[in-house]
Amino acid sequence: MLVRSGKIQFLFWAAFFSVMIYLMLIAIGVETFVLPDEKPMEIPYNTVITMFALYGILALVLLSGIVISTMIDNRYYQTFFGVMLAISFFSILAAKGMFG
């Protein structure tokens, strides 16, 4: 059995949960704002608050992954978390551009 260090395990699980949180954000956004048959009369505030909370958690996980991977000099996870951070930032900008 191959035993990994605790830092590498943390990076793996942080990467896993960052992808899962991002997929949840995309699913919630598409289900709420893109797929409904008719445009809602008012903004669904509970969905917006949930998305803000998920983006905050995602930012926390991504930044902690970047810091840990930089401290142990792991290039794979540095690029992974950097790309995920850029994707999440650009998705926020795209959503802001589409929905105002």
Q: Where are the domains of the chain?
A: 45-100
Give pLDDT tens digits for 59-74. Answer: 999 999 999 999 999 9
DSSP 3-state assignment of 90? helix
Name residue 30's amino acid.
Answer: V
Give pLDDT tens digits for 16-74. Answer: 999 999 999 999 988 888 787 777 778 788 988 999 999 999 999 999 999 999 999 99
| CA 71 to mean position of chain CA atoms | 22
Dist CA 98 CA 100 (whole Å): 6
